[in-house]
Structures are given as structure tokens and as C-alpha cells.
């Protein structure tokens, strides 16, 4: 542009610096977007893919969170769905049994207030919010026992709210699933 | 400085910075709303629009699959913490008349030594829920089931309101000096036993959990054992079975004696 030639050298330097700072800020935005995508894909954070709702007052009357439908279910393709609820002051089922090295869908919700859902020794750590269904795709590497404390203060009996997760061998789980449609390890 | 206006398409700085910002926004939206959701097969998305709605958090009712139906009756009472907390005088009066038929076991003042529950001062939601469960068969008792079968919903509410209105009367075994067992005070956290009082009214009340003070030791033990064995299953979503199952026989005995001695 014709007018540019009339400017002092100081203005050219200012423009160059301006351009570099602009480039740097765009790169920072790009890195942040990329980081969010990366940790999402690699499940360092587990943003939920969809929002599903369920009435906390009537969970026991109908739908997938009725007492007899809770526990682990094995689908025809070998994947497993676990359904559980949190309530003041226990998880039902109190002991969740899952196979190792298998894609698992954890579905849970709360029947009253906000509860925490944390499985020790894994990166599973989320909240059970009344009215909403928590849905997590997870995979346990090896057989073993984990404790599952409620990690969100849910009332005066909160510290007594603990569940258990028992990860068993794949074939052992398959045998159990053949005998029963919904599995738990409550004794 | 140039004389061009700042916000103008002829200002290259303006054009380029707005362009890049919009580009980053569009790219992030495509990545976040379309590409990443579609990478997750377990979401079972039906298309691009479904992916966008899902990622944007449009709520939807859970997909109804065929749930396994229970092979026993479960309680169908919808409990809320406000339910039956505001009784009117008419309801209490009706309840008093209806409660005459209850007196032979539960006492004319809602208190008796017959090892049946003392109902005087019991939370109305509790009496209503148990009557309802006896009526539907979620809870079974040879004595109570026939009584409840003939009651209407209003009858049950009235009787519950009447008993809630009566003052609590301590049992003959009142002993407030009796030390509280550990399981009552602190529960047993690693066994999923919270302190009894966090639901049963001494500290806080969870809707549907009865006041236990002054109840007969025989009754409390029998109910805890029935919950533990699964003989009684009208606690919604196993809320009491989860606790009773973890209690030792000794703990059950301790809490039963402790609560009988409480006002």
C-alpha cells in the first residue's frame, strides 16, 4: 500500500511484534483445543457423550434401575453393561462383579442426592447426580478387588457409604453370566 | 497510523484476525461436536445431527430396554422427604377412629408390650409406607396383611397422621444411661454401615426410616434378621438390606437392646 512507505521504521517494528504475538496466541488456543481433544480420546478425562435423564423418585418403579435389573449384564457381543444406583447410604448392588479386559459400560444414577462414584486403583471417578444417568465406557486390566467409596459428601452417614468392585477372569465371568442374567457379588 | 477505520474489511489486521478466530471456532466445533463423538462407537450415534445434539448435552430419556422383572413384589411407594409432614385435624380425627381396630396389638395409645411396633409418635411417612407395602404384598405378615388389604389410600394416610400426632411414650425398659454400641455411634464404614441415627431420626431422618426408640427388642431383631436374610424385601432398592447384611449377630443384638432402652 502506498501509504506504508511514508511510515517510520518504528511502525514496521510494531507491526512485526504485533504479528508475532497474534501468532503466539493463536498457537496457544490451538494447543489448548488439541490438548482437550487428546485427553478426551485417551480417557484421561471422561467427558460424557450424551445426557440421559431418569426421575430419581421413581427409579424403583420402572425402567432400567429397578432392583431386579441392577448388576452386570453380558450382551451377545461379549460386552458388559453394569447398572447401579447410589442412595443414602449405600450403593446397590453393594458388590459389583465385572470381567477383566472387556469393554464395560457403567451406567449409574442417584436416588436422592449427589453421590460420588470412585473406583480405587482406576481412573474411574465421577458423580451420580439425581435426575441424570452417568454412563462411562471402562475397561479393567486385571482381576482383583477394588473398593468404591462415595467421594462426594452426601449427608451425615456419608463416611459409611462404600461399595466393592470385584474384577474376575473373563472365562469365569462368562460361566457366571450363563447361569444368571444380572450378576452381583453380594453375599 | 493509517487513516483507515479499525473495523473495516480494508484493514488487513482486522480481516485476518477475525478470520483466524472464526476459523479456530469452527474447527473446534467440528472436532468437539462431530468428530470426537463419532469416534466413540459405544454412543451408537445415528448421524451428524445426533452427534451434535449429544455433545451439546440435549437431555433425552434413557433408551428403554427389556429390564429383568423382579420375581417378588417390590414397594411401589414414591418417597419424598416432604411427604405427609403437614397433617390436618380432620385427617388426624379420622385416623383416630380408624386406629381403634389397631389397638389390640399396637395399644390404645399406640404403645404396647406385645412386641408389635409402638406407633405413637412414629413418622407418618413410615406408617403410611408400611401399610401400603402390606396392602400390595411387598411386605408380608399374617396379621397385618388382611388389615391393610381393606384400607383405602386415604385410610392409610389418616391412620399414619393420627399415630404421628400421638406423643411418644417410652417403653418399660427405658434406660437412657445405657451406653450406645459402636455400630450405633459410628457405624462400620468399611462394611458400608453408616451410623443408625443418620437415617433413623436421632441425627437425621431419611424418608421411610422409622423412629426406633422404645421399639421391642424382639421386633427390631426379627426385622434386622429378615432384612439380612432377604426374607423382608420392601426396603426400596435394598437400602436396609445392604446395611443389615453386613451386621454381625452380636451387633444386631446390641442395637436391638440399645434402641429398646431409648425414649
The closest alpha carbon to B196, from A151, A116, A113, A160, belongs to: A160
B41 Cβ partners below 8 Å, 6+ apart? none
What is the rounded distance in angstroms from the CA atom of residue B88 to the CA atom of residue B217? 33
Q: What are phi and psi of A148, to 5 degrees?
A: -135, 80
The percent helix, strand, coil of chain B (3-state, each to 5) is: 50, 0, 50
What is the rounded distance in angstroms from the CA atom of residue B224 to the CA atom of residue B233? 11
pLDDT of residue A6: 58
Among B residues 128-167, those touching chain A with beta carbons less than 8 Å apart: none
- How would DSSP label each residue in A35-75? HHHHHHHTTSS---S--EE--GGGTTTSSTTSGGG-EEEE-
Q: What are phi and psi of A91, to 5 degrees?
A: -100, 140
CB contact under 8 A, B199 and A157: yes
What is the rounded distance in angstroms from the CA atom of residue B108 to the CA atom of residue A16? 94
CB contact under 8 A, A60 and B236: yes
Q: How far is B75 from chain A (nearest CA, A)?
A: 8
Partner A contacted by B31 (CB < 8 A): yes
pLDDT of residue A108: 95
What is the rounded distance in angstroms from the CA atom of residue B134 to the CA atom of residue B151? 10
Q: How far is B182 from chain A (nearest CA, A)?
A: 13
Q: Encode B122-143: b = buried (16+ Cβ within 10 Å), e = exposed.
A: bbbbbbbbbbbbbbbebbeeee
A22 contacts in chain B (CB < 8 Å): 17
Assess whether pLDDT exceeds 80 at residue B68.
Answer: yes
A1-to-A11, B2, B10, B20, B204 alpha-carbon distances in Å: 14, 11, 11, 22, 78
What is the rounded distance in angstroms from the CA atom of residue A93 to the CA atom of residue B242? 8
Summarize pLDDT for B210-225 with one digit per residue, the tens: 999 999 999 999 999 9
Task: Report the CATH fold assignment for A52-179.
Answer: Immunoglobulin-like (2.60.40)
- Using pLDDT thresholds of 50, 70 and 90, give the confidence band for residue B228: very high
Q: How far is B114 from chain A (nearest CA, A)?
A: 32
- Using pLDDT thresholds of 50, 70 and 90, give the confidence band for residue B42: confident
Length of chain A: 187
What is the rounded distance in angstroms from the CA atom of residue B199 to the CA atom of residue A158? 11
Q: How far is B223 from chain A (nearest CA, A)?
A: 19
pLDDT of residue A50: 86
Summarize pLDDT for B121-153 with one digit per residue, the tens: 999 999 999 999 999 999 999 999 999 999 999
pLDDT of residue B198: 94
Summarize pLDDT for B165-214 with one digit per residue, the tens: 999 988 788 888 999 999 999 999 889 999 999 999 889 999 999 999 99
CB contact under 8 A, B245 and A159: no
pLDDT of residue A1: 47
Handedness of CA B118, B123, B127, B130 (dihedral sign): negative
pLDDT of residue A2: 47
Summarize pLDDT for B91-129 with one digit per residue, the tens: 999 999 999 999 999 998 899 888 899 999 999 999 999
In this complex, the residue of B32, B70, B190 whose CB is nearest that of residue A68 is B70
pLDDT of residue A166: 96
Residue ranges of chain A whose pLDDT lies below 70: 1-7
pLDDT of residue B43: 81
Amino acid at each position: 500500500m502506498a501509504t506504508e512507505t511514508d511510515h517510520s521504521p518504528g511502525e514496521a517494528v510494531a507491526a512485526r511484534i504485533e504479528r508475532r504475538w497474534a501468532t503466539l496466541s493463536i498457537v496457544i488456543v490451538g494447543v489448548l483445543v488439541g490438548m482437550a481433544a487428546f485427553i478426551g480420546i485417551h480417557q484421561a478425562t471422561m467427558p460424557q457423550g450424551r445426557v440421559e435423564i431418569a426421575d430419581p423418585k421413581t427409579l424403583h418403579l420402572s425402567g432400567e434401575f429397578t432392583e431386579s435389573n441392577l448388576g452386570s449384564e453380558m450382551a451377545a457381543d461379549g460386552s458388559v453393561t453394569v447398572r447401579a444406583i447410589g442412595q443414602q447410604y449405600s450403593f446397590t448392588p453393594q458388590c459389583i462383579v465385572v470381567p477383566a479386559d472387556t469393554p464395560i459400560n457403567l451406567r449409574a444414577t442417584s436416588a436422592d442426592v449427589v453421590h460420588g462414584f470412585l473406583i480405587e486403583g482406576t481412573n474411574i471417578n465421577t458423580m451420580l447426580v439425581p435426575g441424570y444417568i452417568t454412563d462411562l465406557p471402562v475397561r479393567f486390566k486385571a482381576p482383583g478387588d477394588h473398593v468404591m467409596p462415595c467421594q462426594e459428601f452426601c449427608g451425615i452417614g456419608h463416611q459409611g457409604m462404600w461399595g466393592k468392585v470385584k474384577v474376575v477372569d473373563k472365562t469365569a465371568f462368562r460361566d457366571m453370566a450363563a447361569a444368571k442374567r444380572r450378576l452381583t457379588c453380594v453375599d | 497510523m493509517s487513516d483507515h477505520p479499525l473495523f473495516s474489511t480494508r484493514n488487513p489486521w482486522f480481516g485476518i484476525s477475525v478470520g483466524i478466530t472464526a476459523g479456530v471456532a469452527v474447527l473446534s466445533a467440528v472436532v468437539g461436536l462431530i468428530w470426537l463423538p463419532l469416534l466413540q462407537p459405544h454412543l451408537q450415534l445415528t448421524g451428524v445431527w445426533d452427534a451434535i445434539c449429544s455433545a451439546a448435552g440435549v437431555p433425552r430419556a434413557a433408551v428403554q430396554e427389556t429390564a429383568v422383572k423382579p420375581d417378588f413384589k417390590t414397594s411401589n411407594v414414591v418417597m419424598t422427604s416432604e411427604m405427609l409432614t403437614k397433617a390436618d385435624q380432620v385427617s388426624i380425627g379420622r385416623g383416630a377412629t380408624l386406629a381403634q381396630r389397631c389397638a389390640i396389638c399396637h395399644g390404645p395409645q399406640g404403645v404396647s408390650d406385645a412386641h408389635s411396633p409402638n406407633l405413637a409418635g412414629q413418622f407418618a411417612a413410615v406408617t403410611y409406607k408400611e401399610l401400603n407395602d402390606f396392602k400390595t404384598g411387598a411386605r408380608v405378615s399374617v396379621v397385618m396383611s388382611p388389615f391393610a388389604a381393606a384400607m383405602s389410600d386415604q385410610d392409610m394416610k389418616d391412620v399414619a397422621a393420627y399415630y404421628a400426632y400421638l406423643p411418644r411414650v417410652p417403653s418399660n425398659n427405658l434406660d437412657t444411661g445405657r451406653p450406645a454400641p459402636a455400630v450405633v455411634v459410628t457405624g462400620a464404614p468399611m462394611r458400608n454401615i453408616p451410623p443408625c441415627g443418620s437415617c433413623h431420626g436421632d441425627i437425621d431422618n431419611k424418608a421411610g426410616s422409622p423412629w426406633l426408640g422404645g421399639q421391642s427388642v424382639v421386633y427390631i431383631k426379627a426385622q434386622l434378621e429378615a432384612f439380612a436374610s432377604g426374607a423382608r424385601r420392601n426396603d426400596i432398592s435394598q437400602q436396609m438390606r445392604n446395611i443389615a447384611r453386613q451386621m454381625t449377630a452380636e451387633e444386631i443384638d446390641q442395637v436391638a437392646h440399645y434402641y429398646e432402652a431409648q425414649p
